Amino acid sequence: MEQFIVSARKYRPQTFKDVVGQQAITSTLVNAIESNHLAQALLFTGPRGVGKTTCARILARKINQEGYDDPNEDFAFNVFELDAASNNSVDDIRSLIDQVRIPPQTGKYKVYIIDEVHMLSSAAFNAFLKTLEEPPRHAIFILATTEKHKIIPTILSRCQIFDFKRITIADAANHLADVARSQGINFEDDALRIIAQKADGAMRDALSIFDRVVSYCGRNLTRQAVAENLNVLDFEYYIRITDMVLQGNIPGLLLAYNDILSKGFDGHHFVSGLASHFRDLMVCKTPETINLLEIGDHGKQLFYNQSQQTSMPFLLQAIEIANDCDLKYKSSQNQRLLVELCLMQLASLSFEGEKKKISNS
């Protein structure tokens, strides 16, 4: 049986061009290499799973390949990865410093990637300072961390800092589409968007959610199946809820919320989603902002149609009411009542004034 390799590993980018959503960083690195201006100590910081280790490995390979004819030579033996989470003592750093002194046998550079560098003990940080300040010419250090604020200023000031961004929903969904195509998996665009949304900016998470969903849904990823599998309330759900709000249908809303809770959805999640839904409707109101909506054409049309049934003053108030409920949710003693009250306020808001406003506008 063929061994299954998880997509996050199988599709780890091999060149800077393949890295998604970090163009500012990859082009700065390429320029620095080409103009011979690469610092010897670099700090890659940013959220989990956005390409820090990947870029460190590509950089390590690229600087060693410069001047060599064989593009397949990967110089992996010149790249040393240390996980500071499990090697965080002074002794670990001392043995690393001893190794650093010895020049590489082939290739120009020895590259040290120190992952989760914020986990080093303060004694280890201090032992490292001098080497970081005056490294041998053949050594490059790439420190990676998700928690820049935990790194002492004396280390920060010795590094060139690269802030990696969260991956946008559109970029993550496009990358998933490439992965799906290469595996011959059929998909609806919105299905991949739901996965990208759930991954919350981390590409590694997007790929592992994708693997999980494929093993559940098979080779046909529809929006509905993915939403069901990931237990997310997708936009069509909010469109239905908003229809009830616009009709002033309070009993319908209370029953719908009861249904949401009984299906195990989180009330807080629902309310934040509702506030975002009203925001998205507002964005749809003008041609200048409609592209801020990260959604496929079918979805855009549904949003547009619904936005035409609302007025700007209504949407502003609706956002305020839903957002207010979102803010109060955690500290409330009676969260269910809080959300029900929010839905009732929304319904009366539209019932009282909305029809009149639209007919006047």
Ligand X SMILES: Nc1ncnc2c1ncn2[C@@H]1O[C@H](COP(=O)(O)OP(=O)(O)OP(=O)(O)O)[C@@H](O)[C@H]1O
Contacting residues toward ligand X, per CB under 6 A:
8-9, 11-13, 19-22, 48-54, 115, 144, 146, 167, 175, 203-204, 207
Angstrom distance (rounded) from CA 147 to CA 116: 8
Q: How far apart are the first and last CA of the chain?
A: 65
Rg (CA), the chain: 26
The nearer residue to ligand X, 8 or 315, going by C-beta atoms, is: 8
Report in angstroms how near the CB of residue 127 gets to ligand X at its nearest: 23
How far is residue 326's CA from residue 274's CA, in Å, rounded to a whole number? 9
Residue among 168 and 247 whose Cβ is closer to ligand X = 168
CA–CA gap between residue 217 and residue 210 (Å, rounded): 10
3-state secondary structure 150-197: HCCHHHHCCCEEEECCCCCHHHHHHHHHHHHHHCCCEECHHHHHHHHH
Q: Which is nearer to ligand X, 20 or 315 (CB)?
A: 20
For 144, the 3-state DSSP assignment is strand
Which is nearer to ligand X, 83 or 266 (by Cβ)? Answer: 83
User: In angstroms, what is the minimal distance from the CB of 169 to ligand X?
Assistant: 14
Cβ closest to ligand X, residue 195 vs residue 339:
195
Nearest approach, Cβ of residue 334 and ligand X (Å) = 38
Nearest approach, Cβ of 280 to ligand X (angstroms)? 26
Collect all residues with Cβ–Cβ distance below 8 Å to 190 and sequence separation of at least 6: 223, 234, 295, 296, 298, 299
Q: Which residues contact 91 (CB under 8 A, 6 or more apart)?
A: none
**Minimum distance between the CB of residue 20 and ligand X, rounded to whole angstroms?**
4
Q: Which is nearer to ligand X, 19 or 226 (CB)?
A: 19
Smallest gap, in angstroms, from Cβ of residue 45 to ligand X? 9
